[in-house]
Structure 1
Amino acid sequence: MDVRSLRYALTLAEELHFGRAARAHFIAAQPFGRRIQELERELGTRLFERTSRRVSLTEAGERFLPRARRVLAQLDALLETAEGERAEPVLRVGVLGFGLADRWPAARSILSRCRPDLVLTYVELDWPNQYDAVRTGEVDIAIVHDVGGADDLVVESVMDTRRYAVVPAESELADADHLTESDAVDRPWVVPVGQPGLANWAGGHAFRNQVQVRSPTHIPVAVATSGHLGVHAEPAARFLPHPGVRYLPLDGPHATVAIASRRRERRGTVAAFRAAVHASATVQRLAHDTTP
């Protein structure tokens, strides 16, 4: 089975558009499509349904592609190991949503001073795989939404941020200064799924008439298109703006951003990244404390 075809299939599953997926690999749509067809013939099943208007995953595709992703992650890890000391050290960083938000500049600056040789590779995560990506070695360290359920990992809190409601711009709630739990009663919600602890953070009200999302980056679009309410963390208002929604403070538990790594992790690159993130938090607190 051709590794490149697997990568093409994963990109198509993310983009659900042949043209965009082909451009991501710097080839034309026609040869890209042929590679997908060849992969499907080799597997003996269709991975994608195509119409003139849309591309979607088949049930076989839903089962196959997560396994392909794990295979490619393991292959990449083997290739990185084989390169040994001859290559620049590479750190694969998993990022959920807005990641470190306002702390990215400070963390990058500190890390570049401490480890100027270190190359960072970013991997986008969603709620269902934010912990598993660390467990399986797909990433070396991850910036996650800490909702519990990861006792086998080292999960270190780095940022605590207020919970916000994401409301449709045309909603009567859009002009409010803030919302309470009672404002949300009997309203349909966009619900984050993928980790059991998300239910406590989102609130029980958010599980009626639900539209489900797997990634925090999808919440603004889901709210704008469904007309439902959503829950997010405060930095999303700056990092994930959308003309069809408004972000309003919402009473309830805060969102905790954390870094997750494996318990027996001993690599200096991982330790350097953790130290830089914690140092950036200290820098931000100092800046906040000295602001008049």
Structure 2
Amino acid sequence: MDVRSLRYALTLAEELHFGRAARAHFIAAQAFGRRIQELERELGTRLFDRTSRRVSLTEAGERFLPRARRVLAQLDALMEAAEGDPAEPVLRIGVLGYGLADRWPVTRSVLARCRPDLELTYVELDWANQYDAVRSGEVDVAIVHDVGGHDDLFVETVMDTGRYAVVPADSDLADADRLTGTDAWERPWVAPVGQPGLADWTGGRTARNRVEVRSPTHIPIAVATTGCLGLHGEPAARFFPHPGVRYLPLEDGPRATVAIACRKRDRRGTVAAFRNAVHASTAVDRLARDGAVRR
């Protein structure tokens, strides 16, 4: 969900006139109207009733827009708190797998508003170095798969996602709607390696010939190559598509937990700005999900 579209919707709710609302944001009424329509399509419901003479809020709009106003107020407060020392022009971000998944656009947008001077650089991580890259200073902050073993770092959960099996496309399981432990646990599985906590997340299931992967990006390739099953978080189906695999919801076991990791007592403004932007994206994502559920 685009933050700017939320602001447009709130202005339209106050003005109840597309032309005046568009002028308040210095854009053409036609472009303004398209953004409102895109927001409504994303939510799956109309927020406004339009006629040739008037604009009014629908019941869904009456429910959704007050929540949007609260989220944007929180977002503005986070942005204000994130304004820091402009002498730090670069933030090195370590990313494991799909990282923040769908929340990257809002996170970047918030950072661009509150720290337009800040340049983001990207460092690809794997399970073996996701914490060590933060400890060593190779990255300033990291988006990690939280599997424990990081008491010396500051780690905060930002997202947990559904647990999915990655199944070979030619497997007898590939046409199922979802899987349970009974369906799948006796099959050979690809083994993620690099952190002790991964064994608990996977339930200790491995292939008999120990097919190992060290990064979430390699799981679909390993599954398609070996015929073993793999384990992933729900966003992988969109971010790591592969013609040789299918992603199926898996009912058993812990969800995949995505977290921000940084060094304890790191008080740099750029790190605080990134953390605040991620929390803002979480609030916007929650608003979008609530709006879609309550339509």
Q: TM-score, normalised by structure 1?
A: 0.69
* Displacement after TM superposition at 1:210 (Å): 2.8
Corresponding residue for residue 236 of structure 2: 236
Give the match's secondary structure for 2:167. Answer: strand
Question: Which residue does 1:248 correspond to in 2?
Answer: 248
1:114-165 deviations in whole A, cap 9, x for unaligned? 1010000000000000000000000000000000000100001000101100
Q: Distance in 2 between matches of 1:140 and 1:153?
A: 12
Post-superposition offset of 1:233? 0.4
- AA matched with 2:151: D
Displacement of 1:240: 0.2
Letter matched to residue 90 of structure 1: V
Task: Confirm or deny: 8 A CA contact 1:187 1:208 kept in the other structure.
Answer: no
Q: Tell me the SS of whatever aligns to 2:205.
A: helix
Partner of 1:196: 196
1:157-184 per-residue CA deviation (whole Å, 9 max, x = no partner) reads 0001011000100000000111111222
Following superposition of structure 1 onto structure 2, how do residues 180-195 of structure 1 map, counting pairs within 5 Å? 180-195=180-195
Deviation track 1:232-251 (CA, whole Å, cap 9, x = no partner) reads: 00000000000000000012
Q: Secondary structure at the match of 1:166?
A: strand
1:290, distance to aligned residue in structure 2 (A)? 1.4
The corresponding residue for 1:46 is none
Distance 2:115 2:275 in 1: 12
Superposition misfits of 4+ residues, deviation over 4 angstroms:
85-88
Q: Report the equivalent of 1:225.
A: 225
Q: What is the percent sequence identity of the aligned residues?
A: 76
- Partner of 1:205, secondary structure, is coil
Amino acid of the structure 2 residue aligned with 1:115: R
The match for 2:36 is none
Deviation at 1:88, TM superposition (A): 6.2
Answer yes or no: is 1:270 the counterpart of 2:271.
Answer: yes
Contact conserved, 1:88 with 1:119, CA < 8 A, in 2?
no
CA contact (8 A) 1:179 1:248 kept: yes
Residue 66 of structure 1 aligns with which residue? Answer: none
Deviation at 1:186, TM superposition (A): 2.7
Distance 1:208 1:130 in 2: 27
Q: 1:132 & 1:232 partners in 2: Cα distance?
A: 22
| Superposition map of 1:14-25 within 5 A | none
RMSD of the alignment, in Å?
1.5
Cα shift at 1:204: 2.4
Alpha-carbon contact 2:191-2:205 (below 8 Å) kept: no
Given the two structures, how large is their TM-score scaled by the length of structure 2?
0.68
Uncovered stretches (5+) of structure 2, i.e. residues with no partner: 1-84
Larger-Rg structure:
2
The match for 1:106 is 106
Q: How does 1:41-60 map to 2 (within 5 A)?
A: none
Structure 1, residues 188-227: CA drift from partner, whole Å, max 9, x if none?
A: 1111100011111111233644310000000000100111
- What does 1:120-159 correspond to in 2, within 5 Å? 120-159=120-159
Alpha-carbon distance in structure 2 between the residues aligned to 1:177 and 1:240: 19
Task: Give the 3-state SS of the residue equivalent to 1:151 in structure 2.
Answer: coil
Kindly tell me: are residues 243 and 86 of structure 1, through their superposed partners in 2, closer, same or farther at Cα, counting changes over 3 Å? same
Q: Secondary structure, in 3 states, of the residue corresponding to 1:275?
A: helix
The superposition leaves residues 1-31 of structure 1 with CA deviations (integer Å, 9 ceiling, x where unpaired) of: xxxxxxxxxxxxxxxxxxxxxxxxxxxxxxx
Shift of 1:87: 7.2
Provide the secondary structure at the position in 1 that maps to 2:177: coil
Q: How many residues align?
A: 208
Native 8 Å contact 1:91 1:121 kept in 2: yes
Spell out the pairing of 1:64-103 with structure 2 (5 A cutoff).
89-103=89-103
Cα deviation, residue 288, structure 1: 1.0
SS in 2 for 1:242: coil
Report the residue type matching 2:228 in the other structure: H
Partner residue in 2 for 1:167: 167
Question: Contact 2:168/2:174 (CA < 8 Å) preserved in 1?
Answer: yes
Deviation at 1:266, TM superposition (A): 1.0
CA separation of 1:243/1:189 partners in 2, compared to 1, >3 Å: closer, same or farther?
same
Tell me the SS of whatever aligns to 1:143: strand
- Is the alpha carbon distance of 1:210 and 1:216 closer, same or farther for their aligned partners in structure 2, counting shifts above 3 Å? same
